[in-house]
Amino acid sequence: MAQGARLNCRGVVAYDGTRYAGFQRQAGDTPTIQGAIEAAIRQVTGQPVTLTGAGRTDSGVHATGQVIAFEVAWRHPRQELWRAINATLPGDIALQSLEEAQAGFHPRFDARSRVYEYTLYAAPVRQPLLDRYAWHARADGPLDLVVMRQAAALLIGARDFATFGQPPQGETTIREVRRSELAETVEPGSGAQVIRYTIEANAFLYRMVRRIVGALVRVGAGQVAVSEFEAAFRAADGSWPNQTAPAQGLRLTQVIY
């Protein structure tokens, strides 16, 4: 394929992470989101590319607002590149937008904050249409949203989150949480209590959101008092016994610049 001027691209990607071992490319034939997108771009342009992403989502985690960047030689309109990549990608990955990026743009290091959403539900029996993207967290009654909100509010601000995660590459465990809130709906038909937890922070520790959700569910189920939750959080002790919510309920919804 004839090559044209270099094009710096910035895109927003949505994906179902169920069958992928996370976002970041891995050795061998391990399926990853980055690997699938790079393969599609290579097939369209005939050029090997290395893209960067705003968040390294774990195995089984989804996204509707992952931001990526890459550079490629392209002599046609940018919209044609966007359409061609989408036509080549697997059905569980879609490029929501493709724009020209400013020189030096980096989706991870330029981000001011990221927003994740976790979906869980309480119901007497499993709900197959929810299970792919939500955690069946409780079967013996609804969760107490009042005390869960009290616990979630304690996380706001610049705090040491060592209780809920590990830092990548030995970094500090201090993070600034700007939003930590829960919303509740009732699933039509089944009557399942569906809870969506939204958290925004400047950065996240490894499995931080899933460990927070696991603790909030224990609070809502009456297994842990809000005072115990607070004491464990303030202690910044990663050895606190706590469940980690499963991956399928988590998705990266927005990256803010």
Q: What is the pLDDT of residues 140-157, one digit of tens each?
A: 999 999 999 999 999 999
- What's the number of domains the chain is made of? 2
- Which of 16, 29, 58, 131 is an active site residue? 58
Identify whether residues 241 and 145 lie together within a single domain: yes
Residue 121 included in any domain = yes
- In terms of Cα–Cα distance, which of 98, 85, 108, 79 is closest to 8? 98
pLDDT at 6: 87
Total-model pTM: 0.94
pLDDT at 3: 57
pLDDT at 2: 44
| Contact (Cβ atoms closer than 8 angstroms) between residue 255 and residue 114 | yes
Range of the domain at 237: 113-256
Domain edge (last residue) among 74, 100, 126 = 100
List of the chain residues with pLDDT < 70: 1-4
- Rounded CA separation 170/99 (Å): 34
pLDDT at 168: 80
Any catalytic annotation for residue 58?
Answer: yes
Identify whether residues 131 and 50 lie together within a single domain: no
Q: Which residues contact 250 (CB under 8 A, 6 or more apart)?
A: 57, 58, 61, 62, 116, 117, 118, 209, 210, 213
Identify whether residues 128 and 184 lie together within a single domain: yes
